[in-house]
Structure 1
Amino acid sequence: MTTQDIAAGLPGEDHSLLLVDDDKPFLTRLARAMESRGFAVDTAESVEEAVAKVRANPPAYAVVDMRLGDGNGLDVVSAIRERREDTRTVILTGYGNIATAVTAVKLGAIDYLSKPADADDVYAALTNSSGERAAPPENPMSADRVRWEHIQRVYEMCERNVSETARRLNMHRRTLQRILAKRAPR
């Protein structure tokens, strides 16, 4: 089976895919896997590089890591949406929370996956028809996770301003910084 045969299963004629992640080994593996599924893959390792590639040639598909070395992946999602509204964008993150997922969807992302996501998960998210519903979670969130989600929601409402978020949560700024630096609880 050739890449043209595989690409025939993708909707539309433009199969350009921009992968944005600062984890080089993961980026390389995902790029190879997506090429084998029929995508014409381009990669970027920073917000600056990704935004430049989006301005030059906006892709039909994009997979963007939330936290990059030089900024936030949501900035890349915004740049994509400005240049091409029909781009199917998926956010990947190791720091998943409801507030950033909502923000990503409002900016135009079609899905939000937690790392480690494999190529099959990414492909399914990119090609999923919008009418399908996700299955409800088997395990409800823990109390620690609910607290984490609330902090993240307030943090996003304060436009990622740590001092303002700490004031609104009646929390010391350094305590909040430590909480934000950790991974989300299960």
Structure 2
Amino acid sequence: MKLLIIEDDINLANTLARRLTKHGFTCEVAHNSAQALQLVKQYKPSHVLLDMKLGDDNGLLLIKPIKELLPSCHIVLLTGFASIATAVEAMRIGANDYLTKPVDMPTLVKALDINNQLTAEITATPTTVMSAERVEWEHIQQVLHFNQGNISETARQLNMHRRTLQRKLQKKPVKQ
């Protein structure tokens, strides 16, 4: 199954591509609207994982052009800014599913797996739970990214002393 991941966060896009490749997808990555539409024409994916916020662009605006080029393409909209209004709008204009970040891999694969070809493999595979340290690290990274790397503002939002935050950032936990 050919999957196009449209995500402006380069690290997240590459991580998703690596993980979804292990689940049977052949992945391509686009980081903006123009690149995404070009890859849709060239790559002709069967599935698209689309971030709703692409820098200054809105991922919702890509759903119609993708559906016009590939009517049978399965589109999953992924967003960190979920609302009922955007979910309804996304489904109305052609998205097949709507997921909020952070999303776990079994949920993501299940949303992409329209023919239930991969779901049996995922349910048979034991899922590992992230450690508390890893969950905290991921949350800190998300807030830090939202604040464009501003440690002082991130510390304020996390109700944490700035020096404590800096120490936590130096101790990256082991991935699980």
- Taking structure 1 as the reference length, the TM-score comes to 0.59
Q: Could you tell me which of 22, 33, 38 is aligned with 2:19?
A: 33
The CA deviation string for residues 5-26 of structure 1, in whole angstroms up to 9 with x for no partner, is: xxxxxxxxxx110001111111
- RMSD of the alignment, in Å? 1.6
What CA distance in whole angstroms lies between the structure 2 residues aligned with 1:97 and 1:111? 14
Q: Residue 88 of structure 2 corresponds to which residue in structure 1? A: 102
Identify if the C-alpha distance between structure 1 residues 56 and 70 changes in structure 2 by more than 3 Å, giving closer, same or farther. farther
Which amino acid letter does the alignment assign opposite residue 76 of structure 1? Answer: L
The CA deviation string for residues 93-116 of structure 1, in whole angstroms up to 9 with x for no partner, is: 000011111111112111100000
What CA distance in whole angstroms lies between the structure 2 residues aligned with 1:121 and 1:23? 20
Matched, 1:127 2:127: no
Stretches of structure 1 that go unaligned for 5 or more consecutive residues are 1-14, 131-186
Q: Residue 53 of structure 2 corresponds to which residue in structure 1? A: 67
Q: Could you tell me which of 64, 70, 88 is aligned with 2:74?
A: 88
What CA distance in whole angstroms lies between the structure 2 residues aligned with 1:129 and 1:59? 15
Percent identity among equivalent residues?
37
Matched, 1:19 2:5: yes
Residue 62 of structure 1, CA deviation = 0.6
The CA deviation string for residues 101-136 of structure 1, in whole angstroms up to 9 with x for no partner, is: 111111211110000012222111111469xxxxxx
What CA distance in whole angstroms lies between the structure 2 residues aligned with 1:124 and 1:67? 22
Identify if the C-alpha distance between structure 1 residues 23 and 104 changes in structure 2 by more than 3 Å, giving closer, same or farther. same
- Taking structure 2 as the reference length, the TM-score comes to 0.62
Q: Could you tell me which of 48, 53, 58 is aligned with 2:44?
A: 58
Which amino acid letter does the alignment assign opposite residue 48 of structure 2? Answer: A
Is contact 1:54–1:79 with CA below 8 Å preserved after alignment? Answer: no
What CA distance in whole angstroms lies between the structure 1 residues aligned with 2:40 and 2:25? 16
Which amino acid letter does the alignment assign opposite residue 104 of structure 1? Answer: A
What CA distance in whole angstroms lies between the structure 2 residues aligned with 1:106 and 1:129? 22
Stretches of structure 2 that go unaligned for 5 or more consecutive residues are 117-176
Is contact 1:47–1:70 with CA below 8 Å preserved after alignment? Answer: no
Which amino acid letter does the alignment assign opposite residue 97 of structure 2? Answer: D
